[in-house]
Structure 1
Amino acid sequence: MSEDFGLLEPADQPGDEWEQLDVSDTEADRIALRQDREFDEFRKRIKDTEQFKLQESVFDDATLAAVYKLVQDGYVDAFGGPVSTGKEASVFEALGGQAGERPEPGSEAAGGGPEGVTPEREVAVKVYRINSSNFRQMRDYLEGDPRFDGIASDKKAVVLAWTRKEFANLERARKAGVRVPEPIAVQRNVLVMELVGHAEERARRLSEVDVENPETAYEVVREYMRRLYGAGLIHGDLSEYNMIIHEGELVIIDMGQAVTVHHPNAGEFLKRDCENVATFFTRQGIDVDPDDLRAYVTEPEPEPGGEPGADGESSAGADEVPEADERE
């Protein structure tokens, strides 16, 4: 790929790691309890739809109520088939609606259309399973996060908190200038976000491509890690399996487990991220030391007028992204 893409511009206020996130019952829970006629018809229609028959375990009544609320609010117009299916969550493609919080024309989630034109856009709808999610592993990441202080210990509360946490992490990462899927809406255990790529032509993970310019790729990754850290976040599971390349852009995904720098295990998670990234790029022929990477990520940015990089850009070509060829 020959295109050159710049890094996102960070916002002035990327977020506060001490903010409290509301994980109480939502309107979707009340709809599920009320069982109104329109919702009942919606539930039958969804469960009769061919692409959902194999996903029946995902769509309990409360989850269907969350989807119903997202449709009512204009975030989703129509569902497509599943993009990916995992033990903890399934991701579906969908047609985005005309909600008031629809992303700005020209943004990734709006389809990248010209100013003044809002094209129909495909979105990803990520549905976390309440009953089969890894409850214990989720708690390891939630416990100690000041945003979820005092969260209940039952499985439903943890999964709902996890979904809300992923939405909040995506929002903060984008404000910090990190290329992640653009978050659009969240309702209970259902997250609507930008679909990077298409269901028929999905974006490839870094592990699935031959990186032609590994030095440039590494500069982009370490700059994004630094920006995340500067915004008070650590990915917590960063590797070549949680980074994708699409149309010349490197995108970091799976932000649900990202923790704040004040998490009691933040140092351990950052060390593991640095080791994973160093191991991958060492295999690509670059001499990457995980300790050097950690020092770069945690080093405060120079004051304006200081060394190169004070404007938030990497001093070693992070305004370019790696070219990649798909492996056969």
Structure 2
Amino acid sequence: MSSAEKAAETITELENYDLRILNSIEIGMIQHEMVPFEEVLKYSRLNETELEWRLRKLNELELVYRQSEPYLGFMMNYTAYDLLALNALVKSENLEALGPSIGLGKEADVYQAITPENKVVAVKFHRLGRTSFRDTRRKREYIADRKHMSWLYQSRLAAENEYEALKIVHEGGVASPEPYSQNRHCIVMQIIEGIQLSEVIELDYPNDYLLDILENARKALKTGIIHSDLSEYNILITEEGKIWLIDWPQYIRLDHPNSGEILERDIGNIVYFFQRKHMVETTFDEAWELVVEGTILESS
């Protein structure tokens, strides 16, 4: 059972005081890897006896980890963080129920879900730090300069970044999922039923698909946004042949000092993929001109 599924199952076993304790540990983890018992006591405003009892309960439910040395401390895991996010989204009437998994990756898990209006949506849980903290810092500059940042905070920032990017590019006409709401490391968005471009064996008229992708990159650039991680793994194709650009947490803005270099990498990734796998003849220079036309990068 995944952490999100366990969270959805466990949420009914918790009382408001249990949620308050998890919130207290969440606050403490901004500064600590293991939050001292005294800080949990301070933030939760419970008496010591009740706090100890409820922490044992949360530990038995496998929502928090406990250490005894060098001090008594506690840390929540992804199941607990998923639970807090799901609880908030249900209370705000953005979600009704979590459904099956539709995609598990190194840095995010995606599930189908239902809203109170019975609308099917996608719920994306960012999970930074599940592989390598060092690699995450190297790739994502919005956390690179921070001395201490828990996986919890990294994941929340990734979700906030992607939610912001999706709002901008979707409004700009880019074929990207419409974002509906965000809480902590979790985004509720439009569900897209398609397969990764990397998994498509053969395309009819592949150059048309390439031009469509480049046109969407151009639309994003018009909004001042560069994907920054564009590749065949972040593009979906539906049965009808429509392309969708997904996974935007690493986006940068056009005024970024390295925007030209990063856009070159994005365009190069896509062009070289189509040249290698689908034998298209469009060159990098042709693709570059198509994307940057009418922007400050046109003359660069």
TM range (shorter): 0.5 to 0.7
Unaligned runs of 5+ in 2: 1-18, 25-43, 47-53, 63-75, 296-300
Partner of 2:121: 123
* Residue in 2 that maps onto 1:211: 203
Task: Name the SS for the 1:74 alignment partner.
Answer: coil
**Cα separation, 2, equivalents of 1:29 and 1:299:** 52
Partner of residue 315, structure 1: none
2:171 pairs with 153, 168, 175, which one? 175
Aligned to 2:250: 257
- 1:132 is paired with a residue whose SS is coil
Write out aligned runs for 1:14-163 (5 A).
32-33=23-24, 59-98=78-117, 120-129=118-127, 131-132=129-130, 134-140=132-138, 142-143=140-141, 153-155=148-150, 156-163=152-159
| CA distance in structure 1 between the aligned counterparts of 2:224 and 2:147, rounded to whole angstroms | 24
Identity, in percent, stands at: 30
Give the alignment's Cα RMSD to 1 decimal.
3.1
Superposition pairs for residues 298-313 of structure 1, below 5 Å?
298-300=292-294
CA distance, structure 2, for counterparts of residue 279 and residue 74 of structure 1: 44
- The letter of the residue matching 2:264 is K
Q: Please tell me the residue identity of whatever aligns with 1:289.
A: T
CA deviation map 1:136-194 (0-9, x unaligned): 44444553x6xx89877513333221110000111111111101111111101111111
Contact 1:141–1:259 under 8 Å retained in 2: no
Tell me which amino acid in the other structure corresponds to 1:221.
Answer: I
Aligned partners of 1:138 and 1:162 also within 8 Å: no
- 1:52 alignment counterpart: none
Structure-2 residue corresponding to 1:194: 190
Which one-letter code corresponds to 2:209 in the other structure? A
Asked if the contact 2:22/2:80 (under 8 Å) is kept, the reply is no
Measured after TM superposition, the shift of residue 268 of structure 1 is 2.5
Higher RCO, 1 or 2 (CA under 8 Å, sep at least 6)?
Answer: 1
Give the greater-gyration-radius structure (CA). 2
Distance 1:76 1:133, change over 3 A: farther
CA contact (8 A) 2:108 2:128 kept: no
Q: Which amino acid aligns with 1:60?
A: T
1:278·1:289 contact (CA, 8 Å) conserved in 2?
yes
Query: CA shift at 1:58, angstroms?
Result: 6.6
Q: What is the Cα deviation at residue 224 of structure 1?
A: 0.5
The ranges of structure 1 where at least 4 consecutive aligned residues each deviate by more than 6 angstroms after the TM superposition are 28-31, 148-152
Instruction: State the partner residue of 2:41.
Output: none
Report if the CA contact (8 A) 1:205-1:243 is conserved. yes
Give the Å deviation of 1:70. Answer: 0.3
Corresponding residue of 2:226: 234
Aligned counterpart for 1:280 among listed residues 273, 284, 291: 273
Structure 1 residues 58 and 270, CA gap change in structure 2 (3 angstroms) = farther
State the alpha-carbon separation in 2 of the partners of residues 29 and 216 from structure 1.
53
1-side partners of 2:125 and 2:45: how far apart? 21
AA of the residue aligned to 1:251:
W
Q: Output the CA distance in 1 between the equivalents of 2:182 and 2:158.
A: 11
Tell me how far apart the structure 2 counterparts of residues 213 and 267 of structure 1 sit (CA, whole Å). Answer: 29
Question: Any gaps of 5 or more consecutive residues in structure 1?
Answer: 1-27, 49-56, 99-119, 198-202, 302-328
> What CA distance in whole angstroms lies between the structure 2 residues aligned with 1:219 and 1:256?
24
Q: State how far apart, in whole Å, the 2-side matches of 1:153 and 1:290 are.
A: 40
